[in-house]
């Protein structure tokens, strides 16, 4: 028990009250890794363009753009309103995908024009099912793949069939072939958060989370394609043991891969609030992976992969306080590839400039 000294005697204090001489509680020191860039509605995705520009797309939809490797950002509203975005550069143009949460839901794609404006939305698919987690993967030239998860029951997400489907465009996202199933879960299994990487030629990797209940123990299944996404290998478990949320792959110029995820394993599982950003490394194109290592030792993270920067650094987008709507925010970290320098914030704490 703690006691407080007062400037008056006991009797006077009992009758009239006393002013405390205890110092006010000290303000906690600022967190050097409170790397907030903006508020956040939902999922995000990021890309580094051939020009060096960094672009982050957020649910809603809006873009954050940076031409100085993340030191400063400007905000741009997009001409669509939907969620679960994906982003890629195809033929030197930005392409953005998303899906509408209301029934009937549509998967939409918009493409950047040469003058900086945006095309009208292209409807890739429409259904009364719930469609979540769109993702775009450029595979060379004007060819691009789009992945999306279909959920056959909107009323009970824990008693639904989840199907990951692939769409293909060969004309820079102007038109799309019908969907092809890549993975289909058993009823009640959640297949979520598809991420992919192009290894060159026709070789691709894809990873997704499989869990029995939201925020419960999960595993990451990886599939491989050698023919540009036409066919896929059976799934192989590459991470498990806690609630593991796949952020995505990071591919370096020398071929090394990272698989970045947020995991609450260090906290014993069971909580988004205790999740840290971690990574596994592969030197053999994803055939084997190292043990997980912590990239950012701050809790309450939902990772969204990474983007390679010059000089052996990686930009890591993350949503912090994901389950607290009023506190949810996009944080951008920069980590050293070799771990020789501590993590840092991509930008100083200031609002992104509007465009």
82-95: pLDDT as tens digits: 999 999 999 999 99
Whether residue 14 is contained in a domain is answered as no
Alpha-carbon 123 to chain mean position: 24
Q: How far, in Å, CA of 172 to CA of 270, rounded?
A: 42
Q: How confident is the model at residue 354 (pLDDT cuts 50, 70, 90)?
A: low
Q: Give the number of domains in the chain.
A: 1
What values do phi and psi take at 157, rounded to 5?
-70, -15
Q: How far, in Å, CA of 265 to CA of 248, rounded?
A: 18
Whether residue 11 is contained in a domain is answered as no
Whether residue 271 is contained in a domain is answered as yes
253-287: pLDDT as tens digits: 999 999 999 998 876 665 678 899 999 999 999 99
Whether residue 19 is contained in a domain is answered as no
Whether residue 294 is contained in a domain is answered as yes
Which single residue is written with the structure tokens 């956040």?
Answer: 40
Instruction: Read off the DSSP letter of residue 266.
Output: G
pLDDT at res. 8: 34
211 close to 186: Cβ distance less than 8 angstroms: no
The tokens describing 267, both together, are: 């906290």
The tokens describing 27, both together, are: 């303000």
DSSP string, 247-265: EEEEE-TTS-EEEEEEE-G
Q: Higher-confidence residue: 238 or 157?
A: 238
pLDDT at res. 17: 39
Q: How confident is the model at residue 355 (pLDDT cuts 50, 70, 90)?
A: low
Q: How far, in Å, CA of 157 to CA of 129, rounded?
A: 11
61 cis-preceded (ω within 30 degrees of 0): yes
Helix (H) or strand (E) holding 277: strand 276-282
98-132: pLDDT as tens digits: 999 988 889 999 999 999 999 999 999 999 999 99
12 cis-preceded (ω within 30 degrees of 0): no
Whether residue 204 is contained in a domain is answered as yes
pLDDT at res. 28: 53
CATH label of the domain that carries residue 285 = 2.120.10.10
End-to-end alpha carbon distance in the chain:
55
Whether residue 221 is contained in a domain is answered as yes
Q: What mean pLDDT do residues 165-190 have?
A: 97
Q: How confident is the model at residue 198 (pLDDT cuts 50, 70, 90)?
A: very high
291-345: pLDDT as tens digits: 999 999 999 999 999 999 998 899 999 999 988 989 999 999 999 999 889 999 9
Q: How confident is the model at residue 27 (pLDDT cuts 50, 70, 90)?
A: low
Among residues 54, 140, 30, the alpha carbon closest in space to that of 352 is found at: 54
pLDDT at res. 271: 66
211-257: pLDDT as tens digits: 987 767 899 999 999 999 999 999 999 999 888 999 999 999 999 99
pLDDT at res. 93: 96
Q: Write down the mean pLDDT value for the chain.
A: 89
Half-sphere exposure of 348 (CA within 13 A, CB side): 2
pLDDT at res. 265: 85
What values do phi and psi take at 108, rounded to 5?
-120, 150
On the 0-12 / 13-18 / 19+ scale of CB atoms within 10 A, 170 is middle
Domain encompassing residue 175 = 32-354
Q: How far, in Å, CA of 76 to CA of 98, rounded?
A: 16
Which single residue is written with the structure tokens 């698989």?
Answer: 259
Whether residue 205 is contained in a domain is answered as yes
pTM, full prediction: 0.88
């Amino acid at each position: 028990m703690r006691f407080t000294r007062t400037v008056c005697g006991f009797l006077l204090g009992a009758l009239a009250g006393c002013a405390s001489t205890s110092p006010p509680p000290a303000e906690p020191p600022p967190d050097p890794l409170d790397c907030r860039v903006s508020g956040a509605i939902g999922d995000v995705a990021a890309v580094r363009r051939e020009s060096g520009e960094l672009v982050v797309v957020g649910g809603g939809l809006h873009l954050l753009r940076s031409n100085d490797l993340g030191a400063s950002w400007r905000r741009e509203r997009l001409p669509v309103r939907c969620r679960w975005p994906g982003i890629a550069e195809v033929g030197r143009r930005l392409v953005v995908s998303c899906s509408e949460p209301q029934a009937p839901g549509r998967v939409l794609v918009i493409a950047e024009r040469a003058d900086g404006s945006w095309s009208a939305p292209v409807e890739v698919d429409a259904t009364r099912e719930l469609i979540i987690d769109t993702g775009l993967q450029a595979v060379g030239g004007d060819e691009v793949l789009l992945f999306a998860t279909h959920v056959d029951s909107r009323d009970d997400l824990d008693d639904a069939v989840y199907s990951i489907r692939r769409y293909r465009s060969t004309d820079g996202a102007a038109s799309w072939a019908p969907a092809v199933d890549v993975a289909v879960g058993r009823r009640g299994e959640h297949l979520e958060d598809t991420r992919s990487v192009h290894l060159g030629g026709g070789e691709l990797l894809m990873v997704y989370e499989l869990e029995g209940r939201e925020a419960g123990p999960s595993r990451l299944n990886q599939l491989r394609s050698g023919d540009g996404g036409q066919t896929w290998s059976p799934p192989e478990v590459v991470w498990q043991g806690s609630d593991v949320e796949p952020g995505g792959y990071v591919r370096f110029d020398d071929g090394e891969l990272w698989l970045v995820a947020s995991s609450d394993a260090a906290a014993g599982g069971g909580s988004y609030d205790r999740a840290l950003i971690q990574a596994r490394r592969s030197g053999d194109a994803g055939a084997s992976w190292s043990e997980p290592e912590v990239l950012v030792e701050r809790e309450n993270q939902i990772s969204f992969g990474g983007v390679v920067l010059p000089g052996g650094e990686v930009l890591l987008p993350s949503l912090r306080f994901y389950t607290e709507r009023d506190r949810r925010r996009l944080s951008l970290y920069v980590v050293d590839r070799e771990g020789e320098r501590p993590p840092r914030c991509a930008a100083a704490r200031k609002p992104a400039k509007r465009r």
